[in-house]
Amino acid sequence: MTRTEKLLAELIARPSVNPAFLPQDAVGPRCRAASDDQQVVPTRFGEQRVADFLASVARRAGLEVEFQKVLPGRANLIARLLPRHKIRQTILLAPHLDTVGADDSQFVPRRKNGRLYGRGACDTKGSVAAMFGALCDLAKAKQRPKETEIIFAGLVDEEHVQAGSRAFVERASCLSPSSKRARDRRNTCPTVLAIVGEPTRLQVVTVHKGSLWLELETRGKAAHGATPWLGKNAIHEMARIVEVLETDYAAWLRKRRHSLLGAATVNIGAICGGLQPNIVPDRCAITIDRRTLPGETEAAVHREIAALLRSQQLHANISSAKLAPALPLETNPKLPLVQQFLRSIGQTHPVGVDFFCDAAVLSAGGIPSVVFGPGDIAQAHTADEWISLGSLDRGKDWLLRFLNSLP
């Protein structure tokens, strides 16, 4: 068992399910704390146990460690490796520590046929293990970059509203180490590149789609089911809207293409309307997932959907169903650090992915970002989530090679 595999097994065995996925019945009378406004969250929820474990390992490796409070009981883990000379550039390794929900069996790591199974194996504790392992190896080595600061940022809440990455960019000082020794070495703002850990099959990603969740609501008039002509059926109106979105709108979006991402898309994921069979429904709502391309904005998407409905003599109230914007990412692949990263792993051109991640948040906050990590997104969130151990070890080795190539 390699050190990277062992580290990943330790991470899987420490559950860090995002509390946003806490079942409604998980916090009941037995879980109430002494204060009425506090509740004890079951131990599988929250990132703190993983963060504390990584912090102890980081300190033993000689890294500077701090916690950046984001939400009650939830903090980003920041671990820094300082160069021996003045800081001229900074590399940020930024995987997320939270996972989606799972049952108890998925927190027992299992090795089989060259794979390691368990919740978070590829999304994204595999990236955590590869990035953190590379940084610790570099910290213990005799040779390290002389003018490059390397920061590991274990971010919380990526699976919900990305509170961790949003807090990180809101506090620009987090890129300036708190210690006086480090501050004395930084005279100017350094060049920065963030490598965000996600399962990309070890390909460097410079562009990904954004994700808009929109709610469309139709209103009608309630009436008795025996006299439906006295009412107006909101579900019937919505059915016509669903047909337009799934046919005309989807076809229109297929013509809107990006060279690395393909077409923008729309998916109707939920519908709710009516109370009981003998009442004409006066309300119906759908929630749609609209994957956006670079350059598209939420306001523009609202306008185009509203215009399409008007052209079909349909009407719906349109509102956002996300707590925070999830923008697309597009980083210039010609940036020197991006080019150096590509060369160091033998990749000639960057790629794009359909999913959204923290990279867009960091980029919008002024930190040029790419996405990279072991594993395949096809295994993420599945009941038998796994990662190839070969991919895991290559990811760590390739990251270490890139870090060693820095001045």
pLDDT at 27: 46
pLDDT at 187: 42
Q: Cα(217)–Cα(175) distance, rounded to whole angstroms?
A: 44
pLDDT at 337: 97
Q: Which residues contact 113 (CB under 8 A, 6 or more apart)?
A: none
Q: What tokens appear for 269 in the block?
A: 């994921």
The CATH class for the domain spanning 3-208+328-404 reads alpha beta
pLDDT at 175: 57
Give pTM, 2 decimals: 0.90
Handedness of CA 142, 143, 145, 147 (dihedral sign): positive
Per-residue pLDDT of the chain (407 residues; tens, 9 = 90+): 999 999 999 999 999 999 999 876 554 443 333 333 445 556 789 999 999 999 999 999 999 999 999 999 999 999 999 998 999 999 999 999 999 999 999 999 999 999 999 999 999 999 999 999 999 999 999 889 999 999 999 999 999 999 999 999 998 554 544 444 444 444 445 779 999 999 999 999 999 999 999 999 999 999 999 999 999 999 999 999 999 999 999 999 999 999 999 999 999 999 999 999 999 999 999 999 999 999 999 999 999 999 999 999 999 999 999 988 899 999 999 999 999 999 999 999 999 999 999 999 999 999 999 999 999 999 999 999 999 999 999 999 999 999 999 99
pLDDT at 26: 52
**Residues of each domain in the chain carrying CATH 3.30.70.360:** 210-320
Q: Which residues contact 234 (CB under 8 A, 6 or more apart)?
A: 218, 219, 220, 273, 274, 281, 282, 283, 284
pLDDT at 24: 64
Q: Which residues contact 169 (CB under 8 A, 6 or more apart)?
A: 361, 362, 364, 365, 366, 367
**Residues of each domain in the chain carrying CATH 3.40.630.10:** 3-208+328-404
Of the CATH numbers 3.30.70.2740, 3.40.50.720, 3.40.50.300, 3.30.70.360, which one belongs to the domain with range 210-320? 3.30.70.360
pLDDT at 36: 38
